[in-house]
Structure 1
C-alpha cells in the first residue's frame, strides 16, 4: 500500500467521524455533567486502543487545552499489576471486567475502544459496566459488531482497522473539546 492509498483510507474514516460530530458533542456534554457531579470515567482498549484509552484519561486528569479542575479518569489497561494478576487467575477475557466490577458505580462512564468490536475482554467489560450501572460507550470499527450491540451508545467508524484507530485518536481529542466546551454550561446549572 502506498502512502497515498493509506491517506485515502484514513479520509474515509475521518469522514465517518465528521458525520458523527453531534454524537461526540453529546458525549462531551454528558461527560461534563457526570464528572462534575462526582462520577468517574473508566476506559479500556487493547494495543493501540489501550494507548488511546490512556490518552483520554490523561487529558481528563491533567488538561486538554484549558487549565481547569482535575477529573477522575482511570485507564484500566494501564493497571499492569491488575491486568497480569487477573489474566493469570481468571483468564485474559476478565482483565477489564474484574476492574470494572471493582471500580464502576452507577453514573460512571465506561469508554471501550476497539477497532474490531469483537475483543472478548472488552465484551466482558461492557457486560460488567452495565451490571454496575455505568453508562457504556464504545468506539469501534464498522457496525454491526458485538461491542456496539452491548454498548449504550456507539461511535462506529468506517474503514480498515488501522484507519479506524487513527480516527479514534481524533475522536478522543474531539471528545475533549466537547467536554471542555460543556464545562461552563454545567457549572452554571450546578451553581
Structure 2
C-alpha cells in the first residue's frame, strides 16, 4: 500500500470520528466541565486514571492542569493515579490488578473531588472498580469511554462516550476532549499570563 494513500485514509477516518463525536458528546462534555469546575471551586482535586494509552492520557492531562495548558498561573489540583510503580505493583501483587486505582481512590479521594476514569472500551475492571469506590465515598465518578460506553454506563456520571469502535480514533478523541477540558478549566480558574 502506498504510504500517502494510507495516510489520507487515516485522516479521513479521523475526520469522520471528529464529526460524529462533536455532536454526540456536547452535553456530557459540558457536564464534565461543570463537575470539575465545582471541584476546583470547592478546593477539591481531579484524579485521572486508565490503562495503557489511557494511562498516558491520565498523566498528560494531570500535567496540563498542575503545570499549565496555555497560560502561566496558579496550579490546579490534579493527580494521575498511574505513576507510582511501587504502589501499583504492590497492590497488583498483594490484592489484585483490579484494585490498583480503587485503593488509591480510597486513600486520596474526598467528596468534593472528581475521579475521571479513562477506558476506550468502557470495560476496564480496574477503572470500573475505582469509579465504584469514588461513588461510595460520595465524590463524582466521571469517565471518558468509547464504543457504547461499556460497563462504565451507569457507573460514571458524567460519561463522555466517543462513538467509535477503533481504539486509535477513540484515543485521539480522548486527548482532544481532555485538552478542551483543561482549556475550559484554565480559562475559569487560572487567570495568568499567556505562555510563550
Aligned twin of 2:17: 13
Aligned twin of 1:116: 121
**8 Å contact 1:140–1:155 — kept in the other structure?**
yes
SS in 2 for 1:150: coil
1:184 is displaced (CA, Å) by 7.5
Cα distance in 2, alignment partners of residues 26 and 172 from structure 1? 13
**8 Å contact 1:29–1:179 — kept in the other structure?**
no
1:68 is displaced (CA, Å) by 1.7
Matched, 1:148 2:163: no
Aligned twin of 1:174: 180
Give TM-score scaled by structure 1 length: 0.89
**Richer in helix (by share):** 1
Number of paired residues? 185
SS in 2 for 1:35: helix
Give TM-score scaled by structure 2 length: 0.87
SS in 2 for 1:78: coil
Query: Among residues 95, 105, 123, which one is paired with 1:90 in the alignment?
Result: 95
Aligned-residue CA RMSD (Å): 1.9
1:75 is displaced (CA, Å) by 0.3
Aligned twin of 2:104: 99
Q: Which runs of 5+ in 1 are unaligned?
A: 186-191
1:1-191 to 2 correspondence within 5 Å? Answer: 2-19=6-23, 20-159=25-164, 160-183=166-189
Cα distance in 1, alignment partners of residues 10 and 29 from structure 2? 25
Q: Which runs of 4+ in 1 moved over 6 A?
A: none
The Cα offsets for residues 142-191 of structure 1, whole Å up to 9 and x where unpaired, read as 22410133111111002211100011111111111211233379xxxxxx
The Cα offsets for residues 22-60 of structure 1, whole Å up to 9 and x where unpaired, read as 433442243223213210111101111111111111011
Closer/same/farther in 2, CA of residues 136 and 85 from structure 1, 3 Å limit:
same
Cα distance in 2, alignment partners of residues 184 and 93 from structure 1? 35
**8 Å contact 1:28–1:182 — kept in the other structure?**
no
